[in-house]
Amino acid sequence: MKFALFPGCVLDGAAAEAKTSLLKVCDKLGIELEEITNWTCCGASHAQGVNDLAALAINARNISIAEHMGLDIMTVCNTCTLQLRTAKYRLDHDPKLKEKVNGILKEAGHPYEYQGTSKITHFLWVLDEHPELLDGKITPQGLNGLKVACYYGCHILRPQEIMEHGGDERYPEYFERLVRRLGGQPVWFDANRLCCGFHAQFGAEDDVMKRTGQIVKSAGLARAEVIATPCPLCQMQLDMYEPEGRDAIGDSTEMPILHLQQLIGLAMGMSKKDIGFDRHVSAQQKLKIG
Q: Cα 138 vs. chain centroid, distance in angstroms?
A: 22
Q: What is the mean pLDDT of residues 230-243?
A: 95
Q: What is the mean pLDDT of residues 190-210?
A: 85
Compute the distance between CA of residue 10 and CA of residue 185 in angstroms, rounded to an integer. 29
Q: Cα 97 vs. chain centroid, distance in angstroms?
A: 28
Compute the distance between CA of residue 220 and CA of residue 13 in angstroms, rounded to an integer. 29
Residue 201 confidence (pLDDT) above 80:
no
Judge contact between 224 and 254, C-beta under 8 A. Answer: no
> Which residues are CB-contacts of 224 (< 8 A; sequence separation ≥ 6)?
147, 148, 149, 187, 189, 255
Compute the distance between CA of residue 92 and CA of residue 51 in angstroms, rounded to an integer. 20
Q: pLDDT confidence of 45, banded at 50, 70, 90?
A: low
Residue 172 confidence (pLDDT) above 80:
yes
Residue 166 confidence (pLDDT) above 80:
no
Q: What is the mean pLDDT of residues 184-195?
A: 92
Q: In what order do the strands lie in the sheet with 257-259?
A: 185-187, 147-150, 226-229, 257-259
Q: What is the mean pLDDT of residues 26-38?
A: 98
Residue 55 confidence (pLDDT) above 70:
yes
Could you tell me what percent of the chain has a pLDDT over 90?
A: 80
pTM of the entire predicted model = 0.95
Q: pLDDT confidence of 168, banded at 50, 70, 90?
A: low
Summary mean pLDDT of the chain: 93
